[in-house]
Each structure stands twice: as C-alpha cells, then as structure tokens.
Amino acid sequence: MTPGEPVSDEQIRLLRLLCEDLLPNEVFSVDRLPALIDEIARADSKWNRRVQMAIDEFYALRESGKNAEAQERRQEFLGACPSKWYRQIVDAL
C-alpha cells in the first residue's frame, strides 16, 4: 500500500483481521484507516519483539535448569499478549 493508492477489499479484510488480533478493544473503521494502520503496525512490532524475547528467555531458563520459571514466563506472556497469532507461537513452546 502506498499513500494515495486506493485500498482493495482484500486489503481491508486483512487489515480488519490484524486489527481484531492485535487491537481487540479497537473498533475497525475504514474512515480511520490511516490511523489504524499506524496503530496496527506499532502493535505488531511491539508483540513481535516481545514474542522473540519470550522465546529467548524461555529457552535460556530451560537450559539453566529453571523449568518452572521458564513456564511461569511463558504463562505471563500468554496472559499479557492480545494476539492469538503470537500466543499460539509461545504456547507451542
């Protein structure tokens, strides 16, 4: 998508799905699309970084023999993250 270019129905559908996943308390509105795209991008970057950190911390703790703490950190992420996509990644650990 580039500024000024019309947004296709498929792009709107995908943005709606991303909004529902990353910003579950946000009401999706095509009228607010530029602002929503920015919010979605920021939320995705935030949770992408956090999922990577959670995975790294989980395996570091397990390698140190701290299995209970690794599971505790995993559960903390699962409880905090709004995104089903990112929760599924961490839940699979």
- Quick: pLDDT tens for 64-77: 999 999 999 999 99
Asked whether residue 82 carries a pLDDT value surpassing 80, the answer given is: yes
Asked whether residue 3 carries a pLDDT value surpassing 70, the answer given is: no
Question: Could you give the CA distance from residue 86 to residue 65 in angstroms, rounded to a whole number?
Answer: 25
Asked whether residue 2 carries a pLDDT value surpassing 70, the answer given is: no
User: Mean pLDDT score of the chain, rounded to an integer?
Assistant: 95
pLDDT value at residue 5: 80
pLDDT value at residue 23: 97
Asked whether residue 4 carries a pLDDT value surpassing 80, the answer given is: no
Which whole number is the average pLDDT over 22-48?
95
pTM: 0.86
Handedness of CA 29, 26, 14, 36 (dihedral sign): positive
Are 81 and 68 contacting, i.e. CB atoms less than 8 angstroms apart?
A: no
